[in-house]
Structure 1
Amino acid sequence: MSSDNGPGDGGAEGPPPEQLALIRESVRGADVPRAKPRTWRGAALAKDRPVARVLVDKGVLHLDRYFDYAVPEELDADAQPGVRVRVRFGAGRHRVRDGRREGGGLIDGYLIERRDESDYSGPLAALAQVVSPEPVLGEELLGLARAVADRYAGSLADVLQLAVPPRSARAEKRASPEPLPAPPAPDAGTWARYEHGPAFLAALASGAAPRAVWNALPGPEWSEEIARAVAATLASGRGALVVVPDGRTAARVDAGLTGLLGKGHHALLTADAGPEKRYAQWLAVRRGSVRAVVGTRAAMFAPVRDLGLVAIWDDGDDSHSEQHAPQPHARDVLLLRASLDKCAFLVGGWSCTVEAAQLVESGWARPLTAGRDQVRRTAPLVRTVGDTDLARDEAARAARLPSLAWQAVREGLKTGPVLVQVPRRGYVPRLACAQCRAPARCAHCAGPLQAQDAGALRCEWCGREEHSWHCPECGGFRLRAQVVGARRTAEELGRAFPAVPVRTSGREHVLDTVPDAPALVVSTPGAEPVAEGGYAAALLLDGWAMLGRPDLRSGEDALRRWIGAAALVRPQGDGGTVVVVAEPTLRPVQALVRWDPVGFAVRELAERAELGFPPVSRMAAVSGTPEAVAEFLAAVESPPDAEVLGPVPLPPTLPGRPRRPGAPPPGEQWERALIRVPPGSGSALAAALKTAQAARMARGSGEPVRVRIDPPDIG
């Protein structure tokens, strides 16, 4: 097993000398058994290229490199580049078999290449097993995985765990279908509503690689428009990949493609399919039997052959951000694929993220939008009401609705369903003083107080119960709900409209569709079902709660969620009305009223550029115990233009509550520091963090340190 090989993928640079020294020291310190060099005593080796270069499936940075193994003659035929193998790795009990000294535990890996000789002068251990002769790791996927690992300061093995699904022997034995001939280029269809829509489709069909940021018009046509973009790409003889946030969205694009092209032209890769079926579909894509893929986050690595288009829908959705190391974002992975494969790129949604606006501002992509007259014809009427009106309006006493919202619900129920969006789940999750509306906070740690199902007050940060709360601002003792959850809202609306059915859609039970009949549909953001024929009206309650989050993306995210709900409402010409309960003068509210998410994103981008915030700058978050963070920051050789912000304490994780990514374990106090660099220094920062983390792991430092590149939440 070689210890001198650098972790390249055909031109990538190896680790710095100081990291290699630590790697060699750690490997040589382990008693790793090896066969004799070039004699291979006791074993018949492959006559042609007897050395296999293997990536072991150990997601640790100081082992993020290739190791050389000998190829036994009996494994020669199956041990081809890209297959899964098992090798002995690390110290362990030794035994003598066929004249060879063996030891160490068996570990999975991928055979990267076969070579005539090894760069390592010592003896090599032999491959223990070829798990399957199916080559699952091609050169393109390997290059993409290496690029993602370098961008996010992660290990190649961790990225491949995300990119290659677990093996299913029965799926491998199943023959993939024969590829269908390329379909004819579709007509423009509803793409004609956009100024450059037909030209975009024509470019895809001709084999070109246009790059566009698409601001989709409200309504259900978006899924068919994506299907037409995929069909145009297939008509050029190339493949296409579409990544969407969830299974419900994937099902809509799947239905659009099936209706346009029929079955067999694309694969649907979602977790709902189950491991065996998903792996079978993935194999069909890798073998070239299927040229198009629609799927959720994990599909961003799908090995589509002759890739001609990568597309992502609603890139601001949290589901696109992977929670497993190295935590890549689907949009950034598809951007890498567009650059590596020189293919077309499309990012679309009803709203527009700041990252998408930056692609247009930099000139890398072109805008794909409709004219203002077309927007007015398809968008609903949006009206606003200040949240303080809830306390003064007599109509709000029945169901916490101001008169304007009450009227919109009553008129909407005459012709169809009405959507009610609430920003929280549960039963009164946030509390405030009923007199001055100051947030109710814990006397011990100033954390927010909550009362689940009318129980005792409890702090969300430290878990202490509060039995004698009083407001420190005005001295009041009465509490009110800052944000009333979906279940409580459904109860109140049910009492206000007793003859109307009330349906709820949220985390525990998400509705896909609702019929075109009068009903109240109470939903949390992202769980809104599609109404047949569109909603007659929509209420967006407690808007200030989303805008008031201490997060850099609060305004952008609030506007995205509002537009996502409002896009399900009928056009203004058909009576569609949206009422948002939020301060009318706030910029996200005004962007919703004008239906101008692109303008909001452009202004937000300009402000972040002035302040040096992402995506204009690159940023990394380093979290851990105070001692570990301080030690790590001292060891990182950051670029000269790097700026360290913090560290600051992180909110603790309560016992029994799910642990957020980067959050401390229950009972531990962690800190977080942010490292910011200007454009052009992001790669150097990632390399420096990876080197420091690898050296720390090689030394066996006890306290963990979490490193995340471009964290989505830096508030």
Structure 2
Amino acid sequence: MSREDRSGDEGAAGAAPEQLALIRETVRRNKAPKAKPRTWRGAALAKELPVARVLVDKGVLHLDRYFDYAVPEELDEAARPGVRVRVRFGAGGRTVRGGRREGGSLIDGFLVERVAESDYQGPLAALAQVVSPEPVLDAELLGLARAVADRYAGSLADILQLAVPPRHARAESRPSPPPPPPPPAPEPGGWQRYVRGREFLASLASGGAPRAVWTALPGPQWAEEIARAVQATLASGRGALVVVPAGRPAARVDAALTALLGEGRHALLTADAGPEKRYREWLAVRRGSVRAVVGTRAAMFAPVRDLGLVVVWDDGDAGHSDEHAPFPHVREVLELRATRDRCAFLLGGWSCTVEAAQLVESGWALPLVADRERVRGAAPLVRTVGDGDLARDEAARAARLPSLAWQVARDGLRSGPVLVQVPRRGYVPRMACARCRAPARCRHCAGPLQAQDAAALRCAWCGRDEESWHCPECGGFRLRAQVVGARRTAEELGRAFPAVPVRTSGREQILDTVPQTPALVVSTPGAEPVAEGGYAAALLLDGWAMLGRPDLRAGEEALRRWIGAAALVREQGAGGTVVIVAEPTLRPVQALVRWDPVGHAVRELAERAELGFPPVSRMAAVSGPPEALAAFLAGAGLPADAEVLGPVPLPVAEAGRPRRAGDPPPGERWERALVRVPPGSGAALAHALKTAQAARLARGGGEAVRIRIDPPDIG
């Protein structure tokens, strides 16, 4: 008998039998072993909510779900929902939830939630590490990312790679300042130029959620008008988000917000800022220190607190469409945010896309435009030079520029800079036979020939030089430029105006601004610098090159490019003139002459409705090797109202040719099919394609099949 037992009996020597039994039972219970805490391989687990649901950073569809992991006791406090973690995932060791095997490689992930029990019956692997205690993924951002992934038939992990910037420890360790008080409501400013402009601003300041498609008047005032809309939203105690297509317009809105609100009231989220600064700005937004954001594409997911307004500028720009799977578009993502958060929505631009016209026609948004008299007063004079004029013009046949363009440029240089827009960069990007106009192609790979300098011809695909070209169609030996590039145009203009400086702006070097002094500014579309006080004139050359693209959006895109350049020219009352070299009877040219992008978009929308083309219908492009594509479509379980168009062969991508997202690998023969569904079936189409792709990948995949919902180019 132990010492404790003996002492207990001795102390109870004079007790009654019932008391003695009670004493012995009490001693037995005190000596009984206590329940052991739950452990994982001998290590104690968290006492409360010991299971963590983790989204692993694997952007593949068949792994697009949460995985359960055990939470060790030492990570209990740091392992909060929303933090970054590292877990073991992959082959090796015993099987755990979802087919994973313990002992795999360490990968990153996000801890989504903590729960008491796992619905997986086997043993769970433990969290390996909490990378940082900073929560970066809240429920609101997670819900938005899931909605976007479902809409575009993509994985949640791929969306979060776009939504949450990479961690930077030094930026994370710095505290964010407290949020400033709301500013006062702004004066109407430039908004009074628009019908309903004052009412729109007043609604934002009072906490309303108006939705508008805004056709901005020409000139640089658009950035200041966006800044006033942001200030009105901040005055109501809510946040605002502005997304623009590139860094230059972001800088203009940034400057306008700083001038209107002062320093420290908004964040600038662009790739040019660098990883540390961008992450620091993003954290300030997530922590609530900053309530206004302006940025480029990835900023569409910025975690703005109490979001009251989302703004998209120039939604037709290709910069708004992400080139990584699943290819989300800024306009569609911010439409989702406006619906989910019940906030205001502003879609603005000098031009108008067909999607914007559809938002107005459906009643989802209201038009925000100026009256016709004010539009005519703010726009420059637009003059046209058609094919008939070129045929009768000796100067145009000799030097490509018609006499009217020379005259307008000469007159404009007396009072300021003149903008010259050319459709291509470089010297002479594309060549054709001077006799029959057949495209000049490489004898080895059939790629297009281009002039890298004044003499040599080189294939744009395989890079071979061509020294003795002749036309296979007519036997001709003379070449002409199909589209003359920016550098060649600059040389021609420099010879014609020897006393005038010539500046170029394009991919190699993009100018932001030019001074208000006489100069010729040769630019490719989208790279036009802003002139102080506006350009005196603009020449829009080779309009047929943009209109002749085999694309459903060719006319819409050409008009958007032309209006983007013409909007930088002074108003007609100040002598501003634009000359466009294109057939004047074409619809986009007439829309430019009348400065009526909305009317053009409405007519385009009506034609697409008759033909069943997007955006009236929803469409997906599915591409891959012929056998794999046929098998995928046969087993995809498409909606009953789906219509498959094609498949048709895609051009074979040659080595050295620039590739775009969705292009087949070099040398492989691929086909593409378009799957079209009527309105209301878009979600079912995306779900069917995503499910089929996930099942295919889970079985081992085989040859690649690529999916893109709402492809920008279906030509």
TM-score by length of 2: 0.92
Aligned to 2:245: 245
Aligned to 2:207: 207
How far has the Cα of 1:396 moved from its partner? Answer: 2.7
2:606 alignment partner AA:
A
Instruction: Work out the CA distance in 2 between the residues paired with 1:321 and 1:220.
Output: 24
Aligned to 1:675: 675
How far has the Cα of 1:392 moved from its partner? Answer: 4.1
Provide, for residues 259-293 of structure 1, a one-character-per-residue CA deviation record: whole Å limited to 9, x for no partner: 11101110000111100000000000000000000
Aligned to 2:664: 664
Provide, for residues 636-684 of structure 1, a one-character-per-residue CA deviation record: whole Å limited to 9, x for no partner: 1100111111111212223223321110111222111111111111101
Aligned to 2:187: 187
Residues 1:177 and 2:187 are matched in the alignment: no
Asked if the contact 1:37/1:122 (under 8 Å) is kept, the reply is no
Residues 1:314 and 2:320 are matched in the alignment: no
Instruction: Work out the CA distance in 1 between the residues paired with 2:37 and 2:346.
Output: 52
Q: Which runs of no fewer than 5 residues in structure 2 stay unpaired?
A: 1-35, 96-100
Asked if the contact 2:486/2:522 (under 8 Å) is kept, the reply is yes
Aligned to 2:19: none
Instruction: Work out the CA distance in 2 between the residues paired with 1:539 and 1:198.
Output: 35
Aligned to 2:654: 654
Instruction: Work out the CA distance in 2 between the residues paired with 1:669 and 1:662.
Output: 13
Aligned to 1:4: none
Percent of pairs with identical residues? 84
Instruction: Work out the CA distance in 2 between the residues paired with 1:690 and 1:120.
Output: 24
2:623 alignment partner AA:
S
Asked if the contact 1:94/1:104 (under 8 Å) is kept, the reply is no
Residues 1:74 and 2:110 are matched in the alignment: no
Aligned to 1:148: 148
Instruction: Work out the CA distance in 1 between the residues paired with 2:667 and 2:265.
Output: 52
Residues 1:693 and 2:714 are matched in the alignment: no
Asked if the contact 1:462/1:654 (under 8 Å) is kept, the reply is yes
Instruction: Work out the CA distance in 1 between the residues paired with 2:520 and 2:360.
Output: 39
How far has the Cα of 1:399 moved from its partner? Answer: 4.0
Structural mapping, 1:596-615, within 5 Å: 596-615=596-615
Aligned to 2:32: none
Instruction: Work out the CA distance in 2 between the residues paired with 1:104 and 1:535.
Output: 62
How far has the Cα of 1:479 moved from its partner? Answer: 1.5
1:125 alignment partner AA:
A
How far has the Cα of 1:400 moved from its partner? Answer: 2.1
Measured at CA, do residues 266 and 602 of structure 1 come closer, stay the same or move farther in structure 2, by a change above 3 Å?
Answer: same
Measured at CA, do residues 37 and 482 of structure 1 come closer, stay the same or move farther in structure 2, by a change above 3 Å?
Answer: farther
Q: Secondary structure at the match of 1:112?
A: strand
Residues 1:302 and 2:325 are matched in the alignment: no
Aligned to 1:89: 89
Aligned to 2:575: 575
Instruction: Work out the CA distance in 2 between the residues paired with 1:496 and 1:219.
Output: 29
How far has the Cα of 1:88 moved from its partner? Answer: 1.0
Instruction: Work out the CA distance in 2 between the residues paired with 1:639 and 1:714.
Output: 21
Which segment drifts farther, 77-86 or 395-404? 395-404
Asked if the contact 1:398/1:496 (under 8 Å) is kept, the reply is no
Structural mapping, 1:543-622, within 5 Å: 543-622=543-622
Instruction: Work out the CA distance in 2 between the residues paired with 1:545 and 1:364.
Output: 35
1:229 alignment partner AA:
A
How far has the Cα of 1:466 moved from its partner? Answer: 6.0
Asked if the contact 1:618/1:710 (under 8 Å) is kept, the reply is yes
2:286 alignment partner AA:
R
Which segment drifts farther, 234-243 or 620-629? 620-629
Structural mapping, 1:440-479, within 5 Å: 440-441=440-441, 448-454=448-454, 457=457, 460=460, 469-471=469-471, 475-479=475-479
Asked if the contact 2:626/2:671 (under 8 Å) is kept, the reply is yes
Aligned to 2:5: none
Q: Secondary structure at the match of 1:158?
A: helix
How far has the Cα of 1:336 moved from its partner? Answer: 0.6
Instruction: Work out the CA distance in 1 between the residues paired with 2:388 and 2:694.
Output: 53
1:416 alignment partner AA:
G
How far has the Cα of 1:401 moved from its partner? Answer: 1.2
Instruction: Work out the CA distance in 1 between the residues paired with 2:389 and 2:243.
Output: 41
How far has the Cα of 1:226 moved from its partner? Answer: 0.2
Structural mapping, 1:313-392, within 5 Å: 313-387=313-387, 389-390=389-390, 392=392
Instruction: Work out the CA distance in 1 between the residues paired with 2:378 and 2:149.
Output: 42
Asked if the contact 1:428/1:481 (under 8 Å) is kept, the reply is yes
Instruction: Work out the CA distance in 1 between the residues paired with 2:40 and 2:448.
Output: 67
Q: Which runs of no fewer than 5 residues in structure 1 stay unpaired?
A: 1-35, 96-100
How far has the Cα of 1:693 moved from its partner? Answer: 0.5
Instruction: Work out the CA distance in 2 between the residues paired with 1:514 and 1:256.
Output: 19
Aligned to 1:536: 536
Aligned to 2:518: 518
Instruction: Work out the CA distance in 2 between the residues paired with 1:131 and 1:238.
Output: 32
Instruction: Work out the CA distance in 2 between the residues paired with 1:455 and 1:414.
Output: 35
Aligned to 2:132: 132
How far has the Cα of 1:476 moved from its partner? Answer: 3.6
How far has the Cα of 1:701 moved from its partner? Answer: 2.1
2:43 alignment partner AA:
A
Aligned to 2:499: 499
Measured at CA, do residues 37 and 681 of structure 1 come closer, stay the same or move farther in structure 2, by a change above 3 Å?
Answer: farther
1:47 alignment partner AA:
K
Asked if the contact 1:433/1:478 (under 8 Å) is kept, the reply is yes
Q: Secondary structure at the match of 1:453?
A: coil
Asked if the contact 1:654/1:667 (under 8 Å) is kept, the reply is yes
Measured at CA, do residues 643 and 454 of structure 1 come closer, stay the same or move farther in structure 2, by a change above 3 Å?
Answer: farther
Aligned to 1:54: 54
Instruction: Work out the CA distance in 1 between the residues paired with 2:388 and 2:635.
Output: 51
Asked if the contact 1:205/1:233 (under 8 Å) is kept, the reply is yes
Aligned to 1:8: none
Aligned to 2:20: none
2:168 alignment partner AA:
S
Structural mapping, 1:245-284, within 5 Å: 245-284=245-284
Asked if the contact 2:417/2:516 (under 8 Å) is kept, the reply is yes
1:577 alignment partner AA:
T
Measured at CA, do residues 404 and 657 of structure 1 come closer, stay the same or move farther in structure 2, by a change above 3 Å?
Answer: same
Aligned to 1:404: 404
Instruction: Work out the CA distance in 2 between the residues paired with 1:459 and 1:284.
Output: 50
Which segment drifts farther, 674-683 or 557-566? 674-683
Q: Secondary structure at the match of 2:326?
A: coil
Q: Secondary structure at the match of 1:395?
A: helix
TM-score by length of 1: 0.92
Instruction: Work out the CA distance in 2 between the residues paired with 1:116 and 1:388.
Output: 79
Measured at CA, do residues 518 and 454 of structure 1 come closer, stay the same or move farther in structure 2, by a change above 3 Å?
Answer: closer
How far has the Cα of 1:434 moved from its partner? Answer: 1.9
1:74 alignment partner AA:
E
